[in-house]
Amino acid sequence: MGIRYEPAGFEADGREIGLYHLTDGCGLTLVVTNLGAAARSLYLDDEAGRTDVLLGFEKPESQMEKGPMFGVTLGRYAGKILGAEYEVKGVRRQLSKSHGEHHAHGGRRGFDKRVFEVLRAAKEEIVFRYVSADGEEGYPGELTLLVTYRIEKRKVILTYEVTSDQDTVAGISNHMYFNLAGNDGGEVTDQNVFVRADRISEPGTDGLPAGREYCVTGTPMDLRSPVRIGTLYEGPCEQRERMGGFDHDYLLDGGEEPAAGLSHPASGRRLLIYTDSSCIHFYIPDFHGMHYPGKDGAVYDGKCGVCFEPMYVSDCLHSGLGDSPLLNAGERRVSRTVFDFSW
């Protein structure tokens, strides 16, 4: 057990990029990298052998290009900020525009493309640190982020700790794409999913946040009971059609029960997600026609993965939906998500 290091074979910002292998002794191995504090692979050892259940680029350096952001840390703010601006205490802040006229996932060069320092690597835990300069992507204040990956008894525990020397915004998340059939397992339509939420943040007809809640009860958007993913695309659904699929903020019910989960009946693999976030972004990409080259010779197209991103409600700085991502100067904020696997 412990941590094994291997160089990734390239540099970014003049620093070596490496891969760190964490093994828990219970059949789970996690591979992470200091580029974007990203999760690159997640191996589950079961009767079928060793299966990598995370999507990722064939070459780690492809993460520096525009694309699906496989497994990366999102920040300073995961989600969209409309107009790429916000106002707090009478001061207007202009952010970089990275999604048309809007700001998304941290801007033109968010945390996903930054090189993190390895602060500590011991046994089944690694801690990354990134110091975001005052004014980076338009955000005020020097912000320090610690990202901790810990594995134990088939669990991946992901913790974020943020502090800033000025009032600012911080909403950190991760962009892992799961496929419990394997990274080369094709479409996830035969897998079952649930999200324990009775409301979503409704998208407008333009696909941008509309700033209001939508009750999912009695609609195809209701995922509170496990449902086969393939059936989610059957029949009309206005909310789904507005986003071209599932790309929605679910406002969680809270409590100690799992917030979301994914299962693969054919293999018996199961994932439960516990989080202290009040929102989880549920995303099923549709890569038809894109054909991204993945690990181990896989080619990603179609509905080949599922993302669960615990985060603040997209554009909540304007709508007021959910919790606030405002971080006061000197405040220390910690958030935690557990990915619990079984087979």
Catalytic residues: 175, 309
Contact 58, 295 (CB under 8 A): yes
d(CA 281, CA 251): 9
Cis ω before 242 (30° cut-off from 0): no
H helical segments located in the chain: 238-243, 316-319
Residue owning tokens 């089944």? 124
What spatial distance separates the first Cα and last Cα of the chain, rounded to whole Å?
21
d(CA 177, CA 287): 13
Select from 167, 210, 216 the least CA-distant residue to 314.
Answer: 210
Contact 128, 34 (CB under 8 A): yes
Contact 304, 186 (CB under 8 A): yes
CB atoms within 10 A of CB 230: 14
d(CA 259, CA 195): 6
d(CA 121, CA 270): 28
Sheet with 2-12, edge to edge strand ranges: 2-12, 15-23, 28-33, 38-46, 49-52
d(CA 187, CA 338): 25
Contact 133, 107 (CB under 8 A): no
d(CA 18, CA 60): 10
Contact 153, 24 (CB under 8 A): yes
Select from 117, 122, 111, 127 the least CA-distant residue to 159.
Answer: 127
